[in-house]
Amino acid sequence: MTGDARNAEEAERERRLREQTDDGEIISKEEYTKRSRRAFLSFAGLGVAGYLGFRQVQNMEEDENIPRILRAGFDWNESVWSTLERDGARARTFSVDDREEIRVNGRHGLEDGDGDFIEVSESEAETWEIEVTSRNGSTLDPIPLAAVKSDFEVHDMVWEHKCIEGWSNIVHWTGVRLSDVLERYAADELSAEWSVLRTPPGNDVRREYSSAIENYTMRHAQTLLAWELNGEPLTAGHGSPIRLVTPFKYGIKQIKRVGSIEFTDDRPTDYWTERGYDLHSSF
Ligand SMILES: Nc1nc2c(c(=O)[nH]1)N[C@H]1C(S)=C(S)[C@@H](COP(=O)(O)O)O[C@H]1N2
Ligand SMILES: [Mo]
């Protein structure tokens, strides 16, 4: 390929990305600022928690002794969110030029007994399936990853990923809408109050990770099953071969390596909710 052709191709991809990411700019700047301030206030609470050993708590899987201040913060956050989640807003998106590196953070459900990441080979990825359980407990047809990648409209979205530890990065995700996939594979479950996504079962059950999301997020236009991060296929640490991403929730909800999805109308728990965090973890 000549340099000109390559430049033209890159320019075309940029243009396409801008077009797609532009459709996220639906909330006003004032609203975004308001939400950021709210998120910042939550962070401020967490900062205090940091002095009380928050980081330590994060790293200690078995410790459920979450500082009281953190719980209070999340309860408050949850009541704020319940008014927000009905307004149909989109998160602010950015240009791909703004994207940043992001660390690997959180290894639950991704490692073997020695603490090494379990790699997913190309052939395993080709036959990867997401198991589906309906509200009445029946097993539905699994969702083949191959179909996820080939049969639905692919979206590129760039937004700010926020971790409850207090850091954030602007990252670019490539994937398909969870709601598009569910419309085909679990249409009757789209009205479920909750869905719980889990990493595939491993040898050590304690290491399994899970993330529960409410109906609003499950159907949100910016909730994606993603297989690329910043234009590269996901590594094992970032959740290969497929992960969930959604812009109004903290990182703890962005489950890496999705192995199953279960629907329920009852208020569920998930990995971090069982350790004292707010079930919504939205900002
Ligand atoms: N399976 C799994 N997914 C996970 C986690 C984890 O420990 N295990 N940690 C979460 C947290 S706290 C964050 S901030 C993001 C980080 O994503 P990254 O490692 O791709 O930066 O993944 C989330 N998803
Ligand atoms: Mo996080």
Domain ranges of the chain: 24-59, 72-275
Asked if 226 and 161 count as a contact pair (C-beta separation under 8 A), the reply is: no
Q: Which two tokens stand for residue 48?
A: 């205090």
| Candidate from 37-46, 52-61, 150-159, 163-172 with smallest mean pLDDT | 52-61
Reply yes or no on domain 72-275 having CATH 3.90.420.10. yes
- Determine the residue of 61, 234, 256 to mutate for testing ligand 1's pocket, defined as the one with the most ligand atoms within 8 A of the Cβ atom: 256
In the block, which residue shows the tokens 């002095």? 51
Asked if 114 and 243 count as a contact pair (C-beta separation under 8 A), the reply is: no
Per DSSP bridges, beta strands 129-133 and 260-264 are parallel
13 C-alpha to ligand 2 centroid (Å): 30
Mean pLDDT over 224-247 rounds to 98
Ligand nearest, relative to CA of residue 244:
1
HSE-up of residue 207 (Cα within 13 Å, Cβ side) = 19
Higher-pLDDT residue of 76 and 189 is 189
pTM listed for this prediction:
0.76
Whether residue 62 is predicted with pLDDT greater than 60 in this model: the reply is: no
Q: Which two tokens stand for residue 151?
A: 């049969």
Cβ-Cβ contacts under 8 Å for 261 (sequence gap 6 or more):
130, 131, 132, 133, 143, 186, 195, 196, 197, 198
Average pLDDT, the chain: 80
14-47 pLDDT, tens per residue? 555 444 433 333 344 455 445 555 554 554 444 4
E strand or H helix at 218: helix 215-218
Mean pLDDT over 274-280 rounds to 91
- Determine the residue of 105, 169, 205, 211 to mutate for testing ligand 1's pocket, defined as the one with the most ligand atoms within 8 A of the Cβ atom: 105
